[in-house]
Amino acid sequence: MTEVPLFATSLAPYNDRLTEAIARVIPTRRFILGPEVEAFEREFADYLGVGHCVGVGNGTDGLTIALRALGIAPGDEVVMPSFTFYATAEAAITAGAKPVFCDIDLDTFCVTVDTVREALTPRTKAIVPVHLFGNPAPVPDLREFGLPILEDAAQAAGASLDGVKAGALGDAAAFSFFPSKNLPCLGDGGAITTDDDDVAERARVLRFHGSKDKSTFIEVGYNSRLDEVQAAALRVLLPELDGWNAKRREAAAAYERVGLGEHVTLPKATDGAQHAYHLYVVRGENLPLGRGYYRVPVHRQPAIASDADLPATEEAARTNVALPMGPELTEDQVRTVVEACASRST
């Protein structure tokens, strides 16, 4: 049987343009917080429909800095799912907060109003919904709690909910541009997006050692800045994002059309969402093909172990499998994957 790659994507068609963009940076000798970063921040903010984009070193730093920019202080509790990458909780702890884990909806893999409500306490100061695998969490519904909302949009570049882009739904959002993401750079990179002028300004200060002018330090901050080379690459690739995501959705539709749902439980988009399908994650038994994600959810990890009772999280961790996905996935490859699922589910 022909092997199908898990990440069906390639930057090879863009090699010349990426090389030109990098070559544009080198003679300037400006490698940190220069014109390429400024231009990308403006272009990405415009793409999302928000007032500000603040480039940072990676998505994890984006979460940490955004939490602090939102006013989270040591000892504050932050509600988030446990079925997510470890960095979601790690970033909260780095910001001085305590992550409090809530359960998810097993169909969408996202938090809900009900699961968040069960985790709230008088010490809760923020909510961090995760747009897991590219599926937007129901952020507008979470507004009823009156708490700051930080979107973990690391996997959701280009996704939307009721016509609003992920990254423009909450009070702030954090993105990752790791090379496997829907919008990749050529190494580590991330961004914070927000409509709040004060949040954006504090994020800019925190990303640069807590300084506005390199000589006066008003915060204990971080050394976390998107560099010029990565920003130049992102400027080349951002215009391709919507087309890539459209092909991902076509691949997801092909999985359904070819009959994958007869053998596994298919992913379900949040109501009103346009899923970005960073990963195509199904649930099923006895499916050794593909890759299981977050088999040990965060609340079971040794460094952050808690006694939270999260049955849907445990079930998702046990049964999920990521199948091949990407803008270059063909219908023949989809059929190959479905046939493999069929042979292993019988």
Q: Residue 285 class from Cβ within 10 Å (0-12 exposed, 13-18 middle, 19+ buried)? A: exposed
Average pLDDT, the chain: 96
* Integer CA distances (angstroms), 270 to 79, 111, 133, 256, 278, in order: 20, 10, 12, 17, 15
Q: Where in the chain is the domain with CATH 3.90.1150.10?
A: 241-344
Nearest alpha-carbon partner for 259 in 153, 341, 157, 171: 341
d(CA 146, CA 290): 40
Per-residue pLDDT at 236? 98
DSSP 44: H
* Integer CA distances (angstroms), 322 to 297, 308, 325, in order: 16, 25, 8
Instruction: For CA atoms 239, 240, 245, 250, give the dihedral sign.
Output: positive
Per-residue pLDDT at 299? 97
Per-residue pLDDT at 287? 74
Nearest alpha-carbon partner for 192 in 39, 50, 32: 50
Low-confidence ranges of the chain (pLDDT < 50): none
pLDDT in tens, 289-343: 678 999 999 999 999 989 999 999 999 999 999 999 999 999 999 999 999 888 8
Number of H helices, E strands in the chain: 11, 12
Per-residue pLDDT at 1? 53
Nearest alpha-carbon partner for 134 in 101, 104, 114, 108: 108
Per-residue pLDDT at 192? 98
- Tally of CB atoms within 10 A around 337: 23
CATH tag, 241-344: 3.90.1150.10
Question: Kind and range of the H or E element at 36?
Answer: helix 35-48
CATH code matching the domain that covers 12-239, chosen among 3.70.10.10, 3.40.50.300, 3.40.640.10, 3.30.470.20: 3.40.640.10
Q: Where in the chain is the domain with CATH 3.40.640.10?
A: 12-239
